[in-house]
């Protein structure tokens, strides 16, 4: 998830291994946020720009599962990503 705050980009990377809830594996603003996005794109990881969700996820500690109140929003993004990759119709 990404969002722009002025000229400072916020990026939050999630990992989902189908065990438990997705986890925040990286987050950062500014140069670090830009680097997270670059690495994702370099590895063909889809990037979803969602200002509200990125802001909410930025409050989750790295390594922690996302909180239940974000399950639905993150699930919608995961379905989008799976459709892009051709894994789900």
Number of domains composing the chain = 1
Give the global pTM: 0.82
Asked if 14 contacts 24 with a C-beta cutoff of 8 angstroms, the reply is yes
Find out whether 63 and 21 touch, Cβ atoms under 8 Å.
Answer: no
User: In whole angstroms, what is the distance from residue 25 CA to residue 2 CA?
Assistant: 14
**What pLDDT score was predicted for residue 80?**
83
CATH code assigned at 59: 3.40.1690.10
Instruction: Tell me which of 10 and 4 has the higher pLDDT.
Output: 10
Q: Which of helix, strand or coil describes residue 25? A: strand
State yes or no: pLDDT of 84 exceeds 90: no
Strand partners, 23: 15, 65
Enclosing domain of residue 6: 2-85
Section 16-26 average pLDDT: 93
pLDDT recorded at residue 79: 87
CA dihedral 89, 3, 46, 21 (to 10 degrees): -70
pLDDT in tens, 36-75: 999 999 998 888 888 899 999 999 999 999 999 999 999 9
Contact 21/73 with Cβ under 8 angstroms?
no
Q: Where are the alpha helices (DSSP H) in 14-70?
A: 31-42, 51-57
């Amino acid at each position: 998830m990404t969002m722009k705050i002025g000229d400072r980009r916020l990026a939050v990377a999630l990992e989902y291994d189908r065990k438990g809830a997705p986890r925040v594996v990286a987050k950062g603003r500014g140069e670090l946020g830009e680097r997270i996005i670059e690495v994702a794109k370099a590895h063909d990881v889809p990037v979803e720009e969602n200002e509200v969700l990125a802001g909410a996820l930025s409050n989750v500690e790295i390594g922690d599962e996302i909180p239940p109140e974000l399950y639905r929003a993150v699930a919608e993004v995961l379905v989008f990503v799976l459709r892009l990759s051709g894994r789900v119709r």
